[in-house]
Structure 1
Amino acid sequence: MQRKNLFDGESYKAQFAIITYRWLMSRQWVTYVDIMAERLGRSTEELPANLSNCDGYGELKKTIGIVKKAICEKVGDDCFEEDGNNRNKRFRYIGKDNDPLADMRNAKAINNLRQYWKFCQDSAGFFPKSWLEYFFKDCQDLLDMKVKRQKGEQVISASIDRILTNIEHLPSLYEAITNKLVLEIDYKPFDEEEVTLMFHPHYLKEYNGRWHLFGHVEGREPEYGYNIALDRIRSKPRERAKVEYVPAPKHFYDEFFKDIVGVSHKIDAKKEHVIIRARSLYIYKLMDTKPLHQSYAIVKPFGMYDDGEYAEFSVDIEPNNEFYGRILQMGAGLEVISPENVRDTMTQRVRALSDLYPKKE
């Protein structure tokens, strides 16, 4: 009878089997504590003295025995060394085969690929059409996706319109980034003359239905994080093979987007601790389930206070147009409380908006 694949599924057993096998194939000494700590994402020192108090301990003991038995069936009974006892008991693999359960691992990988393939088919409506037609060109997969759409069997879609200007350039820009290619791009900034940029592309980001390309542009500031919108590119970008590619510093874009909402940095903007008041329970719940920024933190939970019913939350950001736009989107439901300079900017924007709708006499 064929043994069930130890690595399949999301159960404790499968998780412990994957971790245990990885440790054993490293040929290092390993303990029950090491394996439990890795599954819990904690250090060994953080685990309780009595390991049986950890969730899944029973499955851990059984799974280690099952994995070792499966390896012994392939390699022989003399493929392990053991040392110590109880909590300090450790063991290591010393067999000649460097991957005795390769058939199970490969079957797991194939199953994962099948699931991914099914996801790609089901989610064809989520990805821009240009992505699918570029990367699945001449593949049966693309035909299958079209058939599913025609039959009304597509089960995932996006809320925004994916038919955007120049969206057909997305795949080639993605490949230019991954292949570290320099591009010559004809670009028309808003309310300026058209220019030709020698662009070293680093990063693609979509915000509010609009795609942006970030990178290094020769002779322009900033040195990294130069931002152009795809819909303002005037012609198909051209590869410049003889120009040496300038990459971004490691983790640059992690930091670049860390303190902003959206995609833009204002010149000389500084990070602010902004307190925002949600004037209704509905608006508060919207903000709590879809925060403005990753730094979102509740300052006051929703309730009745001396000056009214509300909740307050904070974000630590550089205020930019995208931030103010998100606040204005909620109308009278959100109020910037502090700092004063951010509140003043909101006041100016609200008054300018109000001036467009004067009361009729």
Structure 2
Amino acid sequence: MQRKNLFDGDSYKAQFALITYRWLMSHRWVSYADIMADYIGVTIKELPANLSNCNGYGELKKVVGTLKKAIADKLEKDVSECFEEEGNNRNKRFRYVGKDDDPLADMRNAKVINNLRQYWKFCQDSAGFFPKSWLEYFFHDCQDLLDMKAKRQKGEQVISSSLDRILTNIEYLPQLYEAITNKTVMEIEYKPYDEEQITLLFHPHYLKEYNGRWHLFGHAEGREPEFGYNIALDRIQEKPRERSKVEYVSAPDHFYDEFFKDIVGVSHMKDFPNKEHIVIRAHEHYIFKLIDTKPLHHSYEVVKPYGLYEDGEYAEFSVDVESNNEFIGRVLQMGAGLEVMSPPQIRKIFAKRVKDMALHYIEPGEKLQRMVPNTEEPLES
């Protein structure tokens, strides 16, 4: 009878089996505490004094015994010939002393194959989420692409995106992705907003999509900033060209982690380069729940839960961000439901935007009335 794959699934048993097997194949001494700490992601000192208080401890003890027997059976030996043990209870530890460094390779490979099958199925089902150009490029002349198209034609596609992925120059995405991974310098004909077309010698580092628009970040020779130069894909004028003889300049380690950390979207504003602690009031419970379930930024914190206060019914939350057009747009998107309370300089930015916007909706006669003050003297009685 074929033994069930000990490594398959997401149960305690499967997870403990994978961790234990990895320890054993290193030929190091290992204890139940080592395995549990590895599973939880803590040090042994951070574990409870009594291991039985840890979730899954009973399964762990069973798995170790089952795994040791499976290894011994595979090697056609007794368990005592394959393992050394010492200590007892919490201090009990054991190690593998067999000569085969991967006796359960068949089981592990079967799990890998199963994972790949699941991934393959996901790729097929999620064809509607990825841009068509990605699929056409990376699955070219591949049966998978034909299967994806067949699924779509039969109405069997089960994942899709709300955004329209047929965007200007989106077909350049695969080429730019490969330029990043292969560290290839590109020559790009680019037309910035409201400026003349320029030729950039560009060292691509990072691709990011925001609000349905793709941006390429990198180092543009002779341009500022040195790193994090932002190219909107829809403003590229022709297919980028490779410049293989130019030495590629990489971004500093973790540069883009820091670059995006304190902003919403993709841009930094020169007028407001510093992070601000911004407090925003939600005047409607519905609007507050929208923000609470989909925060504007990872720094989001509730300052006041929604409730009735002396000055009204509302909730307040804070974000620590640089002010940019994307952040302003996200807040104004909620209309009168959100109000920026502080700091004053950020509130003024929003006040001006709202006033300018309101002017477009004032009728001509009302505009004139607002522009000409009432100078008539009151009639004497």
Q: Give the TM bin, normalised by the shorter chain.
A: over 0.9
Residue 143 of structure 1 corresponds to which residue in structure 2?
146
1:312 maps to 2:316? yes
- Please give the alpha-carbon distance, in whole angstroms, between the structure 2 residues aligned to 1:55 and 1:360: 70
1:48-127 → structure 2 map (5 Å cutoff): 48-75=48-75, 76=77, 77=79, 78-127=81-130
| Higher alpha-carbon deviation: 183-192 or 248-257 | 248-257
- Please give the alpha-carbon distance, in whole angstroms, between the structure 2 residues aligned to 1:66 and 1:302: 53
- Please give the alpha-carbon distance, in whole angstroms, between the structure 2 residues aligned to 1:195 and 1:84: 72
| Higher alpha-carbon deviation: 22-31 or 201-210 | 22-31
| SS in structure 2 of the partner of residue 257 of structure 1 | helix
- Please give the alpha-carbon distance, in whole angstroms, between the structure 2 residues aligned to 1:278 and 1:27: 59
1:223-302 → structure 2 map (5 Å cutoff): 223-267=226-270, 269-302=273-306
| SS in structure 2 of the partner of residue 124 of structure 1 | coil
Residue 340 of structure 1 corresponds to which residue in structure 2?
344
- Please give the alpha-carbon distance, in whole angstroms, between the structure 2 residues aligned to 1:175 and 1:271: 33
Residue 194 of structure 1 corresponds to which residue in structure 2?
197
Residue 41 of structure 1 corresponds to which residue in structure 2?
41
| SS in structure 2 of the partner of residue 87 of structure 1 | helix
| Higher alpha-carbon deviation: 37-46 or 94-103 | 37-46
The one-letter amino acid of 1:349's match is: R
State the Cα distance separating 1:65 from its structure 2 match: 0.9
State the Cα distance separating 1:264 from its structure 2 match: 0.4
The one-letter amino acid of 1:163's match is: I
State the Cα distance separating 1:277 from its structure 2 match: 0.9
- Please give the alpha-carbon distance, in whole angstroms, between the structure 2 residues aligned to 1:344 and 1:29: 64
State the Cα distance separating 1:79 from its structure 2 match: 2.0
Residue deviations 1:79-119 (CA, integer Å, cap 9, x gap): 22212111111111221111111101100000001001100
Residue deviations 1:101-154 (CA, integer Å, cap 9, x gap): 110110000000100110011111000000000000001110110110001000
Residue 214 of structure 1 corresponds to which residue in structure 2?
217
Bigger Rg, which one: 2
- Please give the alpha-carbon distance, in whole angstroms, between the structure 1 residues aligned to 2:255 and 2:65: 45
Q: Which runs of 5 or more structure 1 residues have no equivalent in the other structure?
A: none
- Please give the alpha-carbon distance, in whole angstroms, between the structure 2 residues aligned to 1:204 and 1:251: 15
- Please give the alpha-carbon distance, in whole angstroms, between the structure 2 residues aligned to 1:304 and 1:280: 11
- Please give the alpha-carbon distance, in whole angstroms, between the structure 2 residues aligned to 1:297 and 1:25: 45
State the Cα distance separating 1:309 from its structure 2 match: 1.1
| SS in structure 1 of the partner of residue 111 of structure 2 | helix
* TM-score (normalised: structure 2): 0.93
RMSD: 1.0
- Please give the alpha-carbon distance, in whole angstroms, between the structure 2 residues aligned to 1:317 and 1:19: 40
Residue 176 of structure 1 corresponds to which residue in structure 2?
179
| SS in structure 1 of the partner of residue 261 of structure 2 | coil
Residue deviations 1:20-62 (CA, integer Å, cap 9, x gap): 1111112222111111112122221121111101111110110
Residue deviations 1:178-212 (CA, integer Å, cap 9, x gap): 01100000000011010010000000000000000
Residue deviations 1:219-240 (CA, integer Å, cap 9, x gap): 1111111110000000100000
- Please give the alpha-carbon distance, in whole angstroms, between the structure 2 residues aligned to 1:337 and 1:25: 59
| Higher alpha-carbon deviation: 39-48 or 204-213 | 39-48
- Please give the alpha-carbon distance, in whole angstroms, between the structure 2 residues aligned to 1:188 and 1:162: 22
1:351 maps to 2:363? no
Q: Which runs of 5 or more structure 2 residues have no equivalent in the other structure?
A: 366-381
- Please give the alpha-carbon distance, in whole angstroms, between the structure 1 residues aligned to 2:334 and 2:180: 36
- Please give the alpha-carbon distance, in whole angstroms, between the structure 1 residues aligned to 2:17 and 2:195: 60
Identity of matched residues, %: 75
- Please give the alpha-carbon distance, in whole angstroms, between the structure 2 residues aligned to 1:322 and 1:150: 37
State the Cα distance separating 1:314 from its structure 2 match: 0.8
The one-letter amino acid of 1:342's match is: I
Residue deviations 1:300-319 (CA, integer Å, cap 9, x gap): 11111111111111111111
- Please give the alpha-carbon distance, in whole angstroms, between the structure 2 residues aligned to 1:341 and 1:31: 59
- Please give the alpha-carbon distance, in whole angstroms, between the structure 2 residues aligned to 1:354 and 1:205: 33
Aligned length: 361
Residue 371 of structure 2 corresponds to which residue in structure 1?
none
State the Cα distance separating 1:251 from its structure 2 match: 1.1
| Higher alpha-carbon deviation: 287-296 or 65-74 | 65-74
State the Cα distance separating 1:359 from its structure 2 match: 3.5
- Please give the alpha-carbon distance, in whole angstroms, between the structure 1 residues aligned to 2:235 and 2:279: 35
State the Cα distance separating 1:360 from its structure 2 match: 5.4
- Please give the alpha-carbon distance, in whole angstroms, between the structure 2 residues aligned to 1:173 and 1:354: 42
